[in-house]
Structure 1
Amino acid sequence: MEFAWSGADAGFRHELVDFLDRELAGWDRSTGLGSAVHSDFSRAFVRTLADRGWLTPHWPEEYGGGGQGAWQHFVLGEELWKRGEPRGPQYMNVNWVGPAIIKYGTEEQKRELLPPIARGEVFWCQGFSEPEAGTDLAALRTRAVRAGDGFVLNGQKIWTSYANEADYCFLLARTGSVADGRDGISVFLLPLKTPGVEVRRIDGLVGEHSFNELFLTDARIPAECLLGEENKGWEIVRRTLAYERVGAPRYARAALVLDRLAEWCRAAGLLEDGGVQEQFGQARALCEAARILVYRVIDERAKAKEPSPLAYQARAAMVQAERAVGDLALDVMGSEALVEGALGDAQFRNSLGAGIAAGSYEVQLNLITRLILNLPKD
């Protein structure tokens, strides 16, 4: 395996870092991804990225991308997550919504939906989880029924991140019977301004608001909103989830927080303590393990291979890294780590949701045991 960066990728990172240091000089990294300040900033920032061709560098040029492949895209993601992810929810658009449309969409869908994403003009959200179908997506009950030249949607989605800001929803709905399981699910590209679509806020216990419920009541959409074949959405879901699992390189931010924690401990005279050093070593090892495991997944993409179970392994490793750094911040800083805007505050809040967002940690472990270790289900 070649561990060195290519000249083009290394040059891109150098140019990108210089650009971000200038553009984000006044950026408050402690703001939450769901905050109004973050959303307002991200809308302007992503257009600046788009003007340079850096919002979708991995997309084909004919769809507004830079045609640069998987590695430059991930270099971009690492550097932006180190800085608190100033793209806001746009990372969903460019990481997995756009690629799903590129692979499965009609030419009309590509022409209509991809250029606004590449220009940074729209937000998307993801309508997967339901009150009775979170970890088991195959149990979803939101229905899409054929009606004339379109569909009528009824149902409910929950934990829909950024739906209050979004223009479109990448939505799963059942077009077959419940007994069909995965074989009766379809994917829809739903404009959220559609009559019959209601977004309700879910307040969080900590940090800024970003979660919402989505209610669909006789929401009528044209057949052109269907992505791929009717009742064949599970293939799209499986591919999308593989991209989502490692779409956000959270280990990069965790590693940066770890470095800043080390500086704090040095100034406080704590870094000479053997127990503290051991905790730092363990957290650093987990961040590096997550990075290498994610790189294995990106290497598959760069070689145009089909998504593999390695994504589940990488996802679990990132959860472990985020939690280790969040716990370390609490251990060394005490209650000071919980003060809003403090060094450990955002990392601790991120670590609370690390094992839930983008697929629960426990489900990833189950998938690893079954698909990588080949262990029996019982």
Structure 2
Amino acid sequence: MEFAWNEADAAFRRELVEFLDRELVGWERSETGLGSAVHSDFSRGFVRRLAERGWLTPHWPEEYGGGGQGAWQHFVLGEEMWKRGEPRGPQYMNVNWVGPSVIKYGTQEQKRRILPPITRGEVFWCQGFSEPEAGTDLAALKTRAVRDGDGYVLTGQKIWTSYANEADHCFLLARTGSAADGRDGISVFLLPLRTPGVEVRRISGFVGDHSFNEVFLTEARVGADCLLGEENKGWEIVRRTLAYERVGAPRYARAALVLDRMAERCRADGLLSDSGVRERFGQARALCEAARVLVYRVIDERAKAKEPSALANQARAAMVQAERAVGDLALDALGGEALVEGALGDAQFRNSLGAGIAAGSYEVQLNLISRLILKLPKE
């Protein structure tokens, strides 16, 4: 498998980097955290500038407003964005899995209504999966969607819903069958968050992350045109969505950049003369590179139009290991300086704390790897 970049993708990266260097001057210094008003306001303007250049959805088919450039150019975009603290905000969800899910499973009317605002950078989406008693086990969700005439009535609660406080729509899972149906009784809804009966409450993150929210649904009525795919057949959509989500945020790119900056600082301070310190840096770099290559295997599958596989679980676990290694090293190598709010090491350590939870917990990924890749029996 050859992962060298072709000339078209390499040229795109060079042009993109030049654009970002101009557009993001002072961005990291002014950022106040994921989910903050400052971050979201900046993102809304920034993604429109991306859209004007055709760089918001370069991997989408042209017929749906994309650039028809394929999976690799999209991932070049993701790597460069995450190196810079993801200035697209929640837009990476829109373009990475919400839009593609609508393209694959949506009706023509849904595609006409939902896709153009995404390609223009005009809307934020969030993802309503986890619940207080159904986080790692999505099949245990209790939010109900009851058919009533020409629509559905939604009742239930979602938690840890990133960006719901700023989002316009929610990619929501609800049970349309009985609890005994398990995965076979789940459906996907494209929920406008301004729907009466929908309430969003902020959750303060203990690591300074402002993106988490609870979403309460109290007899919220939506039309049947908000159902994505077939009723009770949402699990197939969920599986595909999760496979895209697990590698949708190439966080290893940010971790590797932080590692390089820490190495420069430690070299200037003479700390790299210590063989133990050099070994720690080498281990962290190896984990970042391993995560990158494992993610590239998943993108290679996507570029070849293969069905999502357990390689996404493996790549996701590797990214968590890389982020944690760099975060821990920041504390050990930089000491108290790494705890100064807003410092490079502080930001990386905070990010690493949530790395094993976002996009599916680390422990669940390990369980899936043991069963799907290593073929180990269940205990």
Same fold (TM over 0.5): yes
CA distance in 1, matches of 2:344, 2:361: 26
2-structure distance, mates of 1:302, 1:31: 35
Tell me how many residue pairs correspond in the alignment.
378
When the two chains are superposed, the root-mean-square deviation of aligned CA atoms in Å is 0.8
Q: 1:345 aligns to what?
A: 346
Q: CA deviation at 1:3?
A: 2.4
Q: Shift of the alpha carbon at 1:279?
A: 0.3
Partner of 1:52: 53
| CA contact 2:159–2:215 (8 Å) conserved in 1 | yes
1:226 aligns to 2:242 (yes or no): no
Superposition deviation, residue 363 in structure 1: 0.1
Partner Cα distance (2:192, 2:181) in 1: 27
Distance 2:331 2:243 in 1: 32
- Verify: 1:23 aligned to 2:26, yes or no: no
2:151 equivalent to 1:150: yes
CA distance in 2, matches of 1:80, 1:31: 17
Q: Gaps spanning 5+ residues in structure 1: where?
A: none
Cα shift at 1:264 = 1.1
- The equivalent of 1:133 in structure 2 is 134
TM-score between both structures, scaled by the size of structure 2 = 0.99
Q: Does the 8 Å CA contact 1:95/1:247 hold for their aligned counterparts?
A: yes
Amino acid at match of 1:50: A
1:14 alignment partner in structure 2: 14
Q: Which residue of 2 aligns with 1:278?
A: 279
Gaps of 5+ in 2: none
Counterpart for residue 314 of structure 2: 313
1:190-205 map, 5 Å: 190-205=191-206
| C-alpha contact (below 8 Å) 1:176/1:183 kept by paired residues | yes
Question: What CA deviation, in whole Å up to 9, does each residue of 1:23-50 have, x standing for no partner?
Answer: 1122125642222211111111000000
1:249 counterpart residue number: 250
Contact between 2:255 and 2:348, CA under 8 Å: does it hold in 1? Answer: yes
Listed as ranges, the matches of 1:59-74 within 5 Å are: 59-74=60-75
SS of 2:134's partner is: coil
Residue 174 of structure 2 aligns with which residue? 173
Q: Deviations for 1:190-225, whole angstroms, at most 9, x for unmatched residues?
A: 000000000011111121311000000000000000
In structure 1, C-alpha distance between the alignment counterparts of 2:289 and 2:77, rounded to whole Å: 18
Tell me the distance in 1 between the aligned counterparts of 2:163 and 2:149.
31
Per-residue deviation, residues 89-110 of structure 1 (Å, max 9, x unmatched): 1111111111100100000000
Tell me what 1:261 maps to: 262
Whole-angstrom distance in 2 between the partners of 1:35 and 1:336: 24
Q: Report the AA paired with residue 6 of structure 1.
A: N
Aligned partners of 1:281, 1:31: CA distance in 2, in Å?
31
In structure 1, what is the equivalent of residue 109 of structure 2? Answer: 108
Q: Structure 1: which 4+ aligned runs deviate by more than 3 Å?
A: none
Task: Classify the secondary structure of the residue corresponding to 2:201.
Answer: strand
> Distance in 1 between the 2:344 and 2:187 partners?
43
TM-score normalized by the length of structure 1: 0.99
Compute the displacement of 1:132 (Å).
Answer: 0.3
1:173–1:187: 8 Å Cα contact kept in structure 2? yes
> Does the CA-based 8 Å contact 1:32-1:346 persist in structure 2?
no
Q: What residue is the counterpart of 2:336 in the other structure? A: 335
1:15 partner letter = E
CA offset digits 1:119-168 (Å, max 9, x no partner): 00000000000000000000000000000000000000000000000000
Task: Report what 2:326 is aligned to.
Answer: 325
* Secondary structure, aligned partner of 1:271: helix
Deviates more, 1:294-303 or 1:203-212: 203-212
Matched residues in 1 for 2:285 and 2:2: separation?
22
